[in-house]
Amino acid sequence: MKKILIVDDLKPFVEQEKSILSRADVHIFTATNGLEALSIHKNVKVDLIVADLDMPGMTGDELCSTIRKDPDLRFVSILMVTRPRETDIARCKKCGANDYITKPINENHLLEKTTNLLGVPIRKAYRVFVNVSIKGENEHAKFLATSINISTAGILIEAKKLLNIGDIVNCSFFLPGSPAISITGEVARLIKKPSEDGYRYGIKFTAISDIARQIIEDFVKSRSVLN
């Protein structure tokens, strides 16, 4: 299992949008500062660290330099998040980070860079953003939802109906330019939207036709090229 460590102000971003990094074979750790990140890495030896360059206390480049100098810790990929300034980008390169991404964070770019650094196949993990209406049904109770993103393995939806982890749902929807798609899935993740009347659910496909899977795969590929 691959292990990712998310540090500092990226933590709430990942907590709300975990689906862009979540895979069955990836475990996400979070730290509030550089010192805590260093301690976690010493204990669990993560595969990838994503850290903000300008963290209070130990900065991102200080964290990176410290890790690179330690023979027991240095073999880890490090992705730095920085403002798009030449001086800050130079700091990312100088400290030994593998790569950097500039703010504001683009979710697709973040996913692409993390999957590349982890060495996991992006085709299996890649999600693209799509906003379509969804008709759902759970235990014969119908509900309406809106999609947030989709991959060949699952879909992230937003709805007012309360579902539980493990619930089985049937969903039908149209992707742009496609015929109707019907899938059965399991609620694998629940995210309560702060200060809003709604929930986000990560739905893992459990029953999907070959035709529907091909439609979704073609859609994901087309949007991946555009992005």
Q: DSSP letter for 166, please.
A: T
pLDDT band at 95 (very low <50, low <70, confident <90, very high): very high
**Residue 26: pLDDT band with limits 50, 70, 90:** confident
Nearest residue to 222 (alpha-carbon basis) of 154, 112, 129, 113: 129
Could you tell me where the DSSP H helices lie in 10-167?
Answer: 11-16, 34-44, 60-69, 86-94, 107-118, 122-125
Q: Summarize pLDDT for 188-210 with one digit per residue, the tens.
A: 888 876 556 788 898 999 999 99
Structural domains in the chain plus CATH codes: 2-125 (3.40.50.2300), 128-226 (2.40.10.220)
Query: Quick one: how many helices (H) and strands (E) in the chain?
Result: 7, 12
For residues 85 and 27, give the distance between their C-alpha atoms in angstroms, rounded to a whole number.
Answer: 31
Nearest-angstrom CA–CA distance, 132 and 207: 20
The pTM of this model reads: 0.55
